[in-house]
A and B are shown apart, each in its own frame.
Chain A
Amino acid sequence: MNPGILSTELVLMAGGFLLLLLQAFAPRLKPLFAPAAILTFLGALAALTLKPSGLHLWGTWEVNGLTRFFTVFFLLGGALAVFFGAYVLRRDGMERGEHYALLLWGTVGMLLMVSTRHLLLIFVGLELLSVVLYLLVATYRRTEVAVEAALKYFLLGSFASAVTLFGMAWYFGMAGHLMLAPPPPPLPKLMGMAYVLLCAGFAFKMALVPFHAWAPDVYQGSPSSVTPWLATLPKMAALVVLVRILQTLPPPLFLGILAAAAVVTMFTGNLLAFVQQDTKRMLAWSGVAHMGYILIGLAAATPEATKSVFVYAVAYALTTLTAFAVLGALTRGEHEPHFISDLAGAGFRHPVPALVLTLCMASLAGIPPLVGFAGKFYLFYAAVEAGRTGLAVLGILNTILSLYFYIRVIYTLYMKPAPVEPLPDTTGGPYRVGLGLAGLLIVFLGLAPAPLFEAASRAFDAMVTYYVR
Chain B
Amino acid sequence: MARLLTDHLLSVLIFLPAAAAAALAFFPGRAKGAIRGFTLAVTAAGLLLAVWLLAAFRPDAGFQFNEWAPWISYFNIHWFVGMDGISLLMVLLTNFLMPVVILSSTRFITEHVKAYHIAFLLLQTGMLGSFLALDFFLFYIFWEVMLIPMYFIIGVWGGKQRVYAAVKFFIFTAVGSFLMFLAILWMVAQRYSATGGLDFAIFSYYPSGLAAASQVWPFLAFTLAFAIKVPMFPFHTWLPDAHTEAPAGGSIILAGVLLKLGAYGMLRFSIPMFPAALAQFLPWLVGLSLVGILYGAWVCFAQDDLKKLIAYSSVSHLGFVTLGLFALTPASVSGAVLQMVNHGLSTGALFLLVGVLYERRHTRMMADFGGLAKTLPVTTALFLVVALSSIGLPGLNGFWGEFLILVGTFQAHPWTAAVAASGVIFSAVYLLTAVRRVFFGPVTHEENTGLADLDLRELICAAALLVPIVWIGVYPKFLLDRITPAIEHTLSIVKGLMP
Q: Which residue of A lies closest to B74 (CB)?
A: A453
For A408-419 the 0/1 string (1 means CB < 8 A from B) is 101100111000
Q: Which of B145, B178, B192 has a CB less than 8 Å from the CB of A396? A: B178
Check if A411 sits within 8 Å of B179, measured CB to CB. no
Bound-state Cα–Cα, A369 to B73, Å: 17
Check if A415 sits within 8 Å of B156, measured CB to CB. yes
Q: Which residue of A lies closest to B72 (CB)?
A: A450
Q: Is A92 an interface residue (CB 8 A)?
A: no
Check if B171 sits within 8 Å of A367, measured CB to CB. no
Bound-state Cα–Cα, A415 to B148, Å: 13
Given contacts A450-B73, A453-B75, A454-B74, contact A415 B162 (CB under 8 A): yes
Give the chain A neighbours of B72 by CB distance below 8 A.
448-450, 453
Give the chain A neighbours of B367 by CB distance below 8 A.
none
Bound-state Cα–Cα, A216 to B317, Å: 50
Q: Is B465 an interface residue (CB 8 A)?
A: no
Q: Distance (Å) between the CB of A382 and the closest chain B CB?
A: 9
Give the chain B neighbours of A268 by CB distance below 8 A.
none
Check if A407 sits within 8 Å of B178, measured CB to CB. no
List CB contacts (< 8 Å) of A379-406 with chain B.
Answer: 380-381, 384-385, 389, 392-393, 396, 399-400, 403-404
Q: Distance (Å) between the CB of B246 and the closest chain A CB?
A: 13
Q: Which residue of B lies closest to A358 (CB)?
A: B148
Interface-facing stretch out of B180-188, B335-343, B353-361, B378-386:
B180-188
Check if B140 sits within 8 Å of A411, measured CB to CB. no
Q: Which of A373, A389, A407, A448 has a CB less than 8 Å from the CB of B170? A: A407
Check if A400 sits within 8 Å of B175, measured CB to CB. yes
Q: Is B376 an interface residue (CB 8 A)?
A: no
Q: Distance (Å) between the CB of A80 and the closest chain B CB?
A: 24
Main secondary structure of the interface of A (DSSP, over half): helix
Bound-state Cα–Cα, A380 to B115, Å: 34
Check if A411 sits within 8 Å of B167, measured CB to CB. yes
Q: Distance (Å) between the CB of B488 and the closest chain A CB?
A: 33
Main secondary structure of the interface of B (DSSP, over half): helix
Bound-state Cα–Cα, A283 to B441, Å: 58
Report the tally of A-B residue pairs with Cβ distances under 8 A: 79
Give the chain A neighbours of B115 by CB distance below 8 A.
348
Q: Which of A367, A389, A407, A415 has a CB less than 8 Å from the CB of B186? A: A389
Bound-state Cα–Cα, A404 to B151, Å: 13
Most chain A CB inside 10 Å of its own CB: which residue of B141, B188, B192: B141
Q: Distance (Å) between the CB of B48 and the closest chain A CB?
A: 28
Size bin of chain A's contact surface: 20 to 34
Q: Distance (Å) between the CB of B470 and the closest chain A CB?
A: 40
Given contacts A399-B178, A403-B171, A407-B151, contact A414 B156 (CB under 8 A): yes
Give the chain A neighbours of B9 by CB distance below 8 A.
none
Q: Distance (Å) between the CB of A4 and the closest chain B CB?
A: 32
Q: Distance (Å) between the CB of A239 and the closest chain B CB?
A: 21
Give the chain A neighbours of B148 by CB distance below 8 A.
362, 367
Q: Is B189 an interface residue (CB 8 A)?
A: yes
Q: Which of A348, A367, A380, A410 has a CB less than 8 Å from the CB of B185? A: A380
Q: Is A422 an interface residue (CB 8 A)?
A: no
Give the chain B neighbours of A403 by CB distance below 8 A.
170-171, 174
Q: Distance (Å) between the CB of A357 and the closest chain B CB?
A: 13
Check if A396 sits within 8 Å of B151, measured CB to CB. no
Bound-state Cα–Cα, A410 to B155, Å: 10
Given contacts A368-B145, A384-B182, contact A415 B163 (CB under 8 A): yes
List CB contacts (< 8 Å) of A232-287 with chain B.
Answer: none
Give the chain B neighbours of A448 by CB distance below 8 A.
72
Q: Distance (Å) between the CB of B199 and the closest chain A CB?
A: 13
Give the chain B neighbours of A368 by CB distance below 8 A.
140-141, 144-145
Most chain A CB inside 10 Å of its own CB: which residue of B72, B115, B141, B178: B178
Given contacts A385-B193, A403-B171, contact A450 B74 (CB under 8 A): yes
Bound-state Cα–Cα, A415 to B162, Å: 8
Give the chain B neighbours of A404 by CB distance below 8 A.
167, 171
Bound-state Cα–Cα, A448 to B151, Å: 25
Given contacts A411-B167, A414-B155, contact A385 B192 (CB under 8 A): yes
Check if A367 sits within 8 Å of B144, measured CB to CB. yes
Q: Distance (Å) between the CB of B238 and the closest chain A CB?
A: 14
Give the chain B neighbours of A410 by CB distance below 8 A.
151
Give the chain B neighbours of A369 by CB distance below 8 A.
141, 145
Check if A393 sits within 8 Å of B170, measured CB to CB. no
Bound-state Cα–Cα, A416 to B162, Å: 10
Check if A385 sits within 8 Å of B145, measured CB to CB. no
Bound-state Cα–Cα, A333 to B166, Å: 31
Q: Distance (Å) between the CB of B30 and the closest chain A CB?
A: 13
Given contacts A384-B186, A415-B163, contact A396 B155 (CB under 8 A): no
Would you mind naming 9 contact pairs between A and B with Cβ atoms under 8 Å apart? A367-B174, A368-B144, A380-B182, A380-B185, A392-B182, A392-B186, A414-B155, A415-B163, A453-B74
Q: List the interface of chain B (C-beta within 8 A of A).
A: 72-75, 112, 115, 137, 140-141, 144-145, 147-148, 151-152, 155-156, 162-163, 166-167, 170-171, 174-175, 178-179, 181-182, 185-186, 188-189, 192-193
Of all A-B residue pairs in the complex, the 7 with the closest CB atoms, nearest first, are A385-B189, A415-B155, A453-B74, A368-B141, A384-B189, A381-B185, A450-B72
